[in-house]
Amino acid sequence: MRYPKATALSAIALSTTTLATPVHKRANVSMIYDFASLDPTPEFNWTPCFDTFTCTLLEVPLDYDDTSAGTTGIAFIKWSTNATNSSSPPQDILTNPGGPGGSGVTFLISALELLTEAFGTDNNIVSFDPRGVNNSGPDVSCFPGVKNTAQLYGRGWGSAVDVNSTSSIATAWAQAGAFGDWCTAAHSGANDTAKYANTIATAQDMLHYTEVLAASNGEDKDSSELWYYGASYGTVLGSTFASLFPDRVGRIILDGVVDGEDYYQGKWEANLFDADAAVKSFFTYCYEGGSSSCAFWDESPEAIEDRWNNVLAKLEAEPITVINTTVVSTPTIVTITDFKNVLLQVPYSPSVYFPILANVLAELEQGNGDGLALYSGEGASLQCSDSSPLVYNEIEPRFFIACNDANGRFNLSTVEDFTENADYLYNQSHLLGEAWAAATAVICRKLDIKAPQNQIFTGVPSANETSHPILFIGNTVDPVTPLRGAKKMSSKFGGSRVLTQDSVGHTSEAAVSKCTFKYVQQYFADASLPDEGTVCEADEVPFQASSSAFNTKARREIRKLKKRHHI
């Protein structure tokens, strides 16, 4: 479930036909459904795409300070408002869904309904695949020339460690080394452009977009400003932009805020402070949801927790056999490690995943591991045939960008270093720390891809003054970007403010809140901020039928996407 595996992927495959947005087909202009048919151009070449959008592949220099490095294409996708009643002309709001490595193209197509509800419809909504991601260059795949890389990593790759097992730690450490050695070799020699896939360069691409836009509108490109919404890792991108170009901030909303200091040090040690609280909210939400909503319901939250402890202890002692051929295609077992891998994703979106977790737990209690096999991808068939859908493996851009940004600053060079790191994370979160440790800092230990000096960020993103203030948003209980991150980063940006959303989950997208939408739209309209200390209630509560109206298909899609991002 954490990495794109067969079952998980088929579930999130794009289906543009499910999007109920009106189609503005332009007569006699063909509609495209990929970026392969576009050539990179230095100006916008908006072409109708994906039924409801326009797409362009913008040619940008790999290195803005060294044009001899060559160029690459960045894939942009745009939803254009038809609003004409706005007092000012519509702006392009750029968006980033997180990751690093998340595809903005996929995000906008999947999340349009949610985004227009949250942002209103006075402005255009734009997204893009950042450098190294999906339809944008440079190619960071560790399998040059291979197009369909989704399943090219072995089973168990990046799986949760067991902090009490030295062999488990040693295995994860060695696997990370193999990844680093392989990928470093694949990107050596002539194929060394992966180093240009980093957050500084992507922030420069966003500025470049605003300049091309201003020029195309006949405006002064040197005073163009960015309008932006970034979630999760997208907050690193946004705060980096504001730090580099403080006088070019039009509107910036940062939602689910990453501690930029920890991120740029490559530690990933400031994420899990509220992780256990997020998972444990399951006990209360399940209880309050009632037996008809929660398959693992019991007479008190404590009774649910007791049963949970029993299920986990039993699974740890005895893996479960899965031979149901509608679920698996090989003889399969599910283990406590599979459970930990799946659990890492669950609190990202409680309204989507808590009901699934309840079903999986109820099954496990009966000795049935079908659901766990399905959601962990264990036993799924490996199909790498030419006819399987073209899907790339997000783990490569995720780690290339994160490791590149970290620039070797947190170098776990011995297995003892990694043991300490894993112990530290386990102490921070008993429930998610072991899965987190296996898939964060250790991955960088041998991935030797280094950006040019002018694309290396040092210190903490900050600016005493920005041309317009930044709006930060944090949930009261976020499993991977705790509220303290929003408070810390807000303290680094003069004039900024934190809006708190009272909900469990990762970013405000985890639970619909009309109150949050109101402040977001006010901010876009005139840059005004909510009062200090404002807290928005959420209108959507896990297991509550009254909020099920919010669980539209489009929202489920976007939350499924989230699960594959670390932040």
Ligand X SMILES: *[C@@H]1O[C@H](CO)[C@@H](O)[C@H](O)[C@H]1NC(C)=O
For 65, residues 6+ apart whose C-beta sits below 8 A from its C-beta are 452, 454
Name the DSSP class of 390.
Answer: -
Measured between alpha carbons, how far is 422 from 168 in angstroms, rounded to an integer? 11
Q: Cβ of residue 449: shortest distance to ligand X, in angstroms? A: 8
Pairing state between β 71-79 and 124-128: antiparallel
Name the DSSP class of 367.
Answer: T
Measured between alpha carbons, how far is 290 from 48 in angstroms, rounded to an integer? 47
The arrangement of strands across the sheet holding 497-504 comes to 47-49, 53-61, 71-79, 124-128, 92-96, 226-231, 249-255, 470-477, 497-504, 535-537
Nearer to ligand X by Cβ, of 18 and 300: the residue is 18
C-beta neighbour count of 454 within 10 angstroms:
12
Q: Cβ of residue 206: shortest distance to ligand X, in angstroms? A: 19
For 358, the enclosing helix (H) or strand (E) is helix 350-365
Closest C-alpha among 463, 66, 504 to residue 245: 463
My answer on whether omega of the bond before 40 falls inside 30° of 0, hence cis, is: no
Identify each DSSP E strand in 50-159 by its residue range. 53-61, 71-79, 92-96, 124-128
C-beta neighbour count of 5 within 10 angstroms:
20
Nearer to ligand X by Cβ, of 22 and 218: the residue is 22
Query: What residue type is 219 in one-letter code?
Result: E
Nearer to ligand X by Cβ, of 216 and 413: the residue is 413
Nearer to ligand X by Cβ, of 137 and 474: the residue is 137
My answer on whether omega of the bond before 90 falls inside 30° of 0, hence cis, is: no
Measured between alpha carbons, how far is 346 from 276 in angstroms, rounded to an integer? 11
Q: Cβ of residue 135: shortest distance to ligand X, in angstroms? A: 5
Q: Cβ of residue 74: shortest distance to ligand X, in angstroms? A: 13
Nearer to ligand X by Cβ, of 290 and 416: the residue is 416
Measured between alpha carbons, how far is 352 from 562 in angstroms, rounded to an integer? 11
Q: Cβ of residue 161: shortest distance to ligand X, in angstroms? A: 9
Q: Cβ of residue 288: shortest distance to ligand X, in angstroms? A: 27
Q: Cβ of residue 542: shortest distance to ligand X, in angstroms? A: 22
Q: Cβ of residue 145: shortest distance to ligand X, in angstroms? A: 4
- How does 511-531 read in b/e, with b if 16+ C-beta sit within 10 Å? bbbebbbebbbebbeebebbe
Nearer to ligand X by Cβ, of 122 and 338: the residue is 122
Q: Cβ of residue 374: shortest distance to ligand X, in angstroms? A: 7
Measured between alpha carbons, how far is 251 from 255 in angstroms, rounded to an integer? 13
Nearer to ligand X by Cβ, of 287 and 405: the residue is 405
Instruction: Compute CA 169 distance to the chain's CA centroid, rounded to the nearest angstrom.
Output: 26
Nearer to ligand X by Cβ, of 287 and 517: the residue is 517
Q: Cβ of residue 397: shortest distance to ligand X, in angstroms? A: 10
DSSP letter string, 153-217 = S-TTTTPPP-TT-HHHHHHHHHHHHHHHHHHHHHTSTT--GGGG-SHHHHHHHHHHHHHHHHHHT
- Nearest-CB residue to ligand X? 408
Nearer to ligand X by Cβ, of 373 and 538: the residue is 373
Q: Cβ of residue 500: shortest distance to ligand X, in angstroms? A: 22
Burial class, 89, CB count within 10 angstroms (exposed 0-12 / middle 13-18 / buried 19+): exposed
Nearer to ligand X by Cβ, of 209 and 392: the residue is 392
Nearer to ligand X by Cβ, of 50 and 285: the residue is 50
Q: Cβ of residue 190: shortest distance to ligand X, in angstroms? A: 6
Q: Cβ of residue 19: shortest distance to ligand X, in angstroms? A: 11
Measured between alpha carbons, how far is 299 from 302 in angstroms, rounded to an integer? 8
Residues found near ligand X in the complex (CB under 6 A)? 14, 22, 28, 34-35, 82-83, 85-86, 103, 105-106, 121-122, 134-135, 139, 144-145, 163-164, 186, 189, 191, 324, 326-327, 370, 391-392, 394, 408, 411, 413, 424, 427, 444, 448, 464
Nearer to ligand X by Cβ, of 295 and 391: the residue is 391
Nearer to ligand X by Cβ, of 183 and 511: the residue is 183
Q: What is the dihedral of CA 255, 565, 106, 98, to 10 degrees?
A: 30
